[in-house]
Chain A
Amino acid sequence: MVVIVAEKSDVCAQRTAEAIVHMKGLPPIFIDTTSLALGLRLAWRAHGANGTIGFDSREVAIAEVTGVLYRGCGRAADFRLDASDRRFAEGEISGALIGLFTALPCPVVNSPVALAARILPFGSAKMRAQISALGFQTPDVLVTSDLEEGRLFFEESDQGALLRLARSVSAVCLPVGREGVRRIADGIVDSPVMIVREPSGCRLQLFVVGEHVISAAKDGSGVLRTVAPPSELLCRRLSRLTHLLQYDFAFVQLTGDVVLDVNPLPSVEACDEGLQRELAALLAMHLAGGDNLQGRI
């Protein structure tokens, strides 16, 4: 049995649930993170994978869980709780689920520990060296809460730049000129921002699910569609890269050998239906036990 932990409106989770039904004839347990305190049913004996997990009227023995699609814990959203109690409940619920999902022997896509490991990417020298050992490079970046410094770095980025907030999991392209500076200023209000300098070359956008890599590109209307696959060698290197980061599912932006960003919680709303279903089928196969990712390196 597959368990999906996501907001009900998460298209990636919805598509994966559909693909699992198609593959197994049985829907996954869908834990809606917008109402965790209302629907979650958990009984976990912490010495091993014993107990049950469920949502609303459905539950499954923890030992029978073959995979978990974990898209974050979300909010307790219980009208019976005031703000302080709600935060406490959220901490307790996420603590319980993170503990359980870390203890499970099956694939958890992506592991909560891996998701939390890096606040901003490319930080540690060790990580940069490991990325380099795979034949990739890390980009030039500036992390700042000083708008003037940010503006200067951005304006010296001839080929463009991406912006990533400290609390976010993904980088977005900065528009050129004043609008880009305004976005930096908006981000700095909240926390330091990371500005990623884009090198010259063609940027590739790639979804990685285990060993599988799908190359995508935006069409004229801004919709991401599947394009010709990258070389086998690049697929293998990308799979190793995401494995190094302990992600089974990620969206990678790459220019040449420079890894601009790795998003471990990609949304698929911007993808066309075909790409959404292709990704969902790969995730379903992985979660249902049909795609063993062990031994990629």
Chain B
Amino acid sequence: MILVVGALANPAIAFVCSSLLAAGDDFLLLDTRQYPIHFEPQWSIVGGSLHGKVRAGRRVVSLEEISAVYIHQIDTPPWLPYPDAEPDPGVLPQGAWALAAFVSVLPCLVVNGPSSCRSNAAKALQLPIIARAGFLTPRTLITNMPDEVRRFHEEVGGRVVFKSMSHRRSIVRPLSDEDLLALDSLALSPVLFQEQVNGVDIRVHVVGASVFATAIESGATDYRHEFRCGLGSPLLYSVVLPDQIAAQCVILTRALGMAISGIDLRRTPEGEYVCFEVNPAPGFTFYQAATNQPIGQALIDLLRSGKRPMNNWNQIS
């Protein structure tokens, strides 16, 4: 039985559920917003043995029945703030705590577990891991000090983009002359500044050991924003990565403890591959629809197999 965790309105969740349904696979959909009324996990370890169950409506599924879990875009518990801090109800639905704790004890495949998603909440944490996987990364400054931004801007010849550091979605924007005049607002929060890299965007989806690469041609700095806001239609098409780069994508995904990833690369005019970040909950349906790549099917196959990809962190750490 496959546990699917997320909101049905999400295209990735909808794809997985409809595929499992069509194939007659047994699955259970849990929406964290419905905790504890509609679902409730429980487990015990007594005498060293783990037993547990999850109740969802009238159905009760034992822990042993769960062969794989797919989680998509639930807010995972944040980095611990401080001892016995009162929770901020706006930050995290209670169900996310329940689910995150539950999946952390499951011995089966979890795509992707909360701990592997955390690197997305601190993108700076990913950068050294990306570099160790063999990718180039753009020169990066994290600061809330305006003078440092001006210095960095000069150092990289005025070609700077900025974006958020946490998992909260932000638009990657070039740092304009107007922005340079408004740097005092930086005092409110540090911002991640990066050297702008020329080239073609490539989104790589790694699912288990399978690699799907999509090139995106767009006039915008952030093609996702361009598409979402209806400002244009980026051109998406399948590409084949050099073997070495594809292998690095798999290594990177596993190093971050992920079974699926969406890796943002840019291929420079010189043919080098620069890596920006790794998304632990990729919206693969957008790329799949444009390219007919069987990304979702690979995910379904992975979930059915229940096999955990081997973590090869030691290879690059």
Interface residues of A (CB under 8 A from B): 6-7, 10, 33, 37, 40-47, 51, 71-76, 78, 80-81, 83, 85, 87-89, 91-96, 98-100, 102-103, 112-113, 115-120, 122-125, 128, 137-138, 140-146, 149, 153, 166-170, 190-192, 263, 265-267
Q: 28 A-B Cβ contacts within 8 A?
A: A42-B144, A44-B124, A44-B141, A47-B127, A51-B141, A85-B188, A87-B88, A91-B166, A92-B191, A95-B124, A95-B165, A95-B166, A96-B124, A96-B192, A99-B123, A99-B165, A103-B128, A115-B80, A119-B101, A120-B104, A143-B102, A144-B42, A146-B42, A166-B100, A166-B101, A167-B77, A170-B83, A266-B83
Stretch from B46-54, B228-236, B263-271 at the A interface? B46-54
Closest residue on chain B to residue A142 by CB atoms? B44
B80 proximity list for chain A (CB < 8 A): 72, 112, 115-116, 169, 265
Which residues from chain B contact A137 at a C-beta distance below 8 Å? 48
A95 to B84: give the CA distance in the assembly, Å: 21
Contacts of B131 in A (CB 8 A): 47
Residues of B within 8 A of A85 (CB): 188
Name the B residues within 8 Å of A103 (CB-CB). 124-125, 128
Neighbour of A265 across the interface among B35, B83, B165, B166, CB < 8 A: B83
Contacts of A95 in B (CB 8 A): 121-125, 164-166
| Cβ contact within 8 Å between B142 and A46 | yes
Q: How far is the CB of B56 from chain A (nearest CB, A)?
A: 13
Main secondary structure of the interface of A (DSSP, over half): mixed
B79 contacts A112, C-beta separation under 8 Å: yes
Please encode chain B, from 146 to 162, with 1 for each CB lying within 8 Å of some chain A CB and 0 for all others: 00100000000000000
Complex formed: what's the CA distance from A191 to B96 in Å? 9
Closest B residue by C-beta to A195: B44
B96 to chain A, nearest CB (A): 9
Nearest 8 interchain pairs by C-beta: A99-B124, A91-B166, A72-B82, A95-B165, A46-B140, A43-B148, A89-B189, A191-B97
Known: A141-B45, A145-B42. A41 touches B90 (CB 8 A): no
Assembled-state Cα–Cα distance A45/B77 (Å): 28
Task: Report the nearest B residue to A267, measured CB to CB.
Answer: B83
Please judge, given known A-B contacts A100-B124, A102-B125, whether A119 and B40 are in contact too, CB under 8 Å: no
Q: Which of B21-65 contact A (CB under 8 A)?
A: 35-36, 40-48, 50
Whether A41 contacts B144 in the complex (CB less than 8 A), given A76-B189, A103-B124, comes out as: yes
Q: Which residues of A contact B78 (CB under 8 A)?
A: 91, 94
Contact yes or no, A143 B43, CB < 8 A: yes
A170 vs B80: C-alpha distance when bound (angstroms): 12
In the complex the two chains form, what is the Cα distance from A87 to B75 in whole Å? 13
Q: Which of B82, B105, B148 has the most CB of A within 10 A?
A: B82
Contacts of A116 in B (CB 8 A): 77, 79-80, 115, 118
* Residue B87 lies at the interface, judged by CB distance under 8 Å to chain A: yes
Find out whether the CB atom of A81 lies under 8 angstroms from the CB atom of B144: no
CB distance B84 to A138 under 8 Å?
Answer: no
Known contacts A72-B82, A83-B90: A89-B168 contact under CB 8 Å:
no
Given A91-B168, A122-B45 in contact, is the A98-B122 Cβ separation under 8 Å? yes
Interface residue? B312 (CB, 8 A)? no
Are A170 and B122 also in contact (CB < 8 A) when A99-B142, A143-B44 are?
no
Given contacts A42-B145, A116-B118, 8 further A-B contacts (CB under 8 A): A76-B188, A88-B168, A91-B168, A96-B165, A112-B80, A166-B98, A192-B98, A265-B82
Q: Are B105 and A93 in contact (CB under 8 A)?
A: no
